Structure 1
Amino acid sequence: MSTTTPSPAPGSSAGAAVPGPAAASVPVQVPVPVPVQTPTPTTGERALVLGGGGSTGNAWLIGVVAGLADAGVDVTTADLTVGTSAGATTAAQLAGATPAELYAAVVAGAPPRRAPDPGRDDRRERTRQAADQMARTAALIAASRDAADMRRRLGAAALDLPAASDASAQARWRATVAARLPSTSWPRRALLLTAVDARTGAPVVLGAHSGVDLVDAVAASCAGGFAYGVGPDRFIDGGYRRNENADLAAGCRRVLVLSPLGGRTRTPREWGMQLDVQVAELRAQGSAVETLVPDGPAEGLVGPRAMDLTLRPAAARAGHAQGVEAADRVARLWR
């Protein structure tokens, strides 16, 4: 099913994701010494956009890409890949392993790897953290004047969390992210991962030439709770800009967007965070765009249940089925 669902709805991108800027084009700023890497599209360039959606969203994305590949459409050949939050993890994973390998690991029931933390009940802790995060961010969104104000408030709140200044918590998060990646090297193909500067609320784009390790870039893009430090800078989830950040593919002639959260956001409609707004912007600039969102069985496996690791195999299978079903349509865009 190809759709860009416009209605706001609860969602989560890498823990609890709140998308980003207003409908108008929002400048992407990066604090020195992290320069912005932007795409330099050429005629015929293809872009793959992977949106946020928590752990089950990551599994669904892997399933879709694997299903497309099994049906003869290899979207990992994209000239540009844009990853946000769970999509950043997926993009980095696809840079180091085949879709089939990643899919097999998920459906086998292997949870996303994390650094060991003896004595901790991970499932209960994740449930508590997700509930707390949803409540905290909902209050901040409600109090915000606009998207930029929301990002500043979310950044300030993330900086106030004890883990933001706890070296051991920061190291554990980095180790958890590193353990999930088959390779810790940036790929040769262009890859852009999104984040937000926690101190200023400015959107950030990290790439191979940004001076940031791939592990740190993914950890920053997925920092849906506390702010993650890279050198002197502090970052929060790229989904706080937009869940998909598809506008970063501007100039690419063909764009495929995979959105685990169905193109919806928890922000006011007038802020223009929805995927349909991003798609309209791209099409107005001449891009051909296709979107895939969770359909049928997959719909109940993402969003509020995004951090339930037991649902990952089912989410991956549902995504795979969608990928196979959508292969002919995607092939017409991609080839």
Structure 2
Amino acid sequence: MTTHSHEANDAAGVERALVLGGGGPVGYAWTAGLLSGLVDAGRDLRRAERIVGTSAGAIAGAQFALGVDVAAGLSTELNRRSEPSPYESAATGGIGDLLSIFAGAARAADPDQARAAIGATALAAKTMTEEEFLAGPGYASLAGQVWPPAFRATAVSATTGRLVVWSADSGVDLAKAVASSSSVPGFTPPVTMHGDRYMDGGARSSLNADLVAGARSVIVVSCTALTPPEGLDPALAAPYEDQAAELDAIRAAGGSLAVIEPGPEFLALSGHGTRLMDMGLIPEAFQVGREQGAKEAPRLDSW
């Protein structure tokens, strides 16, 4: 099994790298729409030699690399909305508390140990079964697919708290790897692979952009604003500072960097990140992303 701790990085020599961050079902739809809009405008980011996806970004990235019809998949997802959503409590604010816990773990004296504590809670939580989780349309569309060579999915061991980066060389099923990357602690079950259980890569970082430090040209897509709002309590600034450090690592390694953040339309739709788990926003999020993709295309002419 090929895995990487958070210090490891094998992006040196990579010409083009694409990073897709986490952001719940709504962030997934926006990201998928954004990528679709860029392709329609002549910027096919599938040229990337490295695509690193975290959580929602892992789903979008795997589907994008495979050429999956995302619009059809979103229709399937919406047809399932009569079923109970595992994210119902998160949609009403629970996810904000979880993100604060993630940020606290990143600043702990032993981040891996702090994340293992989160994992212990995830393992003890009453959720749907792994089989039910993997039957979701985002993962079912990946079942049996050959792993795209460029694609990587981040996840965190629920027992050790260590980051892993799944690749074609890891010897794991693509759908299970992507599901592990987006298994939100406390809401969905950690996924079993290689004798361990794995949870959301966002437990380490919503971007994990530093994993592509060393690549020559990098595009980072974030489902949330990367600049803290005015008047933010300094105690809540840690996630912004950590993401800025990841982007600085790319620049310090000599890479050119283009960052795509939500435009005003998506910020308004998502309640500035507070409604990213609201399944009802999926169709509009996809369309807003598609429109933003067309607007972003001109500045990505090197791709």
TM-score (norm 1): 0.76
> Which residue of structure 2 lines up, in the alignment, with residue 127 of structure 1?
88
SS at match of 1:314: helix
Aligned mates of 2:213, 2:100 — CA distance in 1: 32
Q: Which amino acid aligns with 2:190?
A: A
> Which residue of structure 2 lines up, in the alignment, with residue 252 of structure 1?
215
> Which residue of structure 1 lines up, in the alignment, with residue 291 of structure 2?
321
Aligned mates of 1:136, 1:233 — CA distance in 2: 26
> Which residue of structure 1 lines up, in the alignment, with residue 59 of structure 2?
89
SS at match of 1:172: helix
> Which residue of structure 2 lines up, in the alignment, with residue 294 of structure 1?
262
Give runs of aligned pairs for residues 40-189 of structure 1, distance below 5 A: 40-42=11-13, 45-97=15-67, 101-103=69-71, 106=74, 109-111=75-77, 121-123=83-85, 126-131=87-92, 133-134=94-95, 137=98, 140=101, 146=108, 147-163=111-127, 169-176=129-136, 177-181=138-142, 184-187=145-148, 189=149
Aligned mates of 1:200, 1:214 — CA distance in 2: 22
> Which residue of structure 1 lines up, in the alignment, with residue 155 of structure 2?
195
SS at match of 2:60: helix
Q: Which amino acid aligns with 1:35?
A: T
Structure 2 unaligned segments of length 5 or more: list them: none
The alignment covers a number of residue pairs equal to 286
Q: Which amino acid aligns with 2:88?
A: T
SS at match of 1:322: helix
% same residue: 35
> Which residue of structure 2 lines up, in the alignment, with residue 215 of structure 1?
175
SS at match of 2:301: helix
- 1:76 and 1:308, CA in 2 relative to 1: closer, same or farther beyond 3 A? same
1:224 aligns with 2:192: no
> Which residue of structure 1 lines up, in the alignment, with residue 202 of structure 2?
239
SS at match of 1:111: helix
Aligned 8 A contact 1:39 1:80 in 2: no
Aligned 8 A contact 1:257 1:289 in 2: yes
**RMSD (Å) for aligned C-alpha atoms:** 3.0
Q: Which amino acid aligns with 2:218?
A: V
TM-score (norm 2): 0.83
* Per-residue deviation, residues 242-271 of structure 1 (Å, max 9, x unmatched): 111111111110000111122379985357
Aligned 8 A contact 2:134 2:179 in 1: yes
SS at match of 1:162: coil
Q: Which amino acid aligns with 2:262?
A: P
Deviation at 1:141, TM superposition (A): 5.3
- 1:319 and 1:179, CA in 2 relative to 1: closer, same or farther beyond 3 A? same
* Per-residue deviation, residues 124-148 of structure 1 (Å, max 9, x unmatched): x532254474376267458756244
Deviation at 1:274, TM superposition (A): 3.7
Aligned mates of 1:215, 1:139 — CA distance in 2: 28
2:275 alignment partner, one of 301, 305, 315: 305
Aligned mates of 1:254, 1:113 — CA distance in 2: 39
Aligned 8 A contact 1:228 1:236 in 2: yes
Q: Which amino acid aligns with 2:87?
A: R
SS at match of 2:87: helix
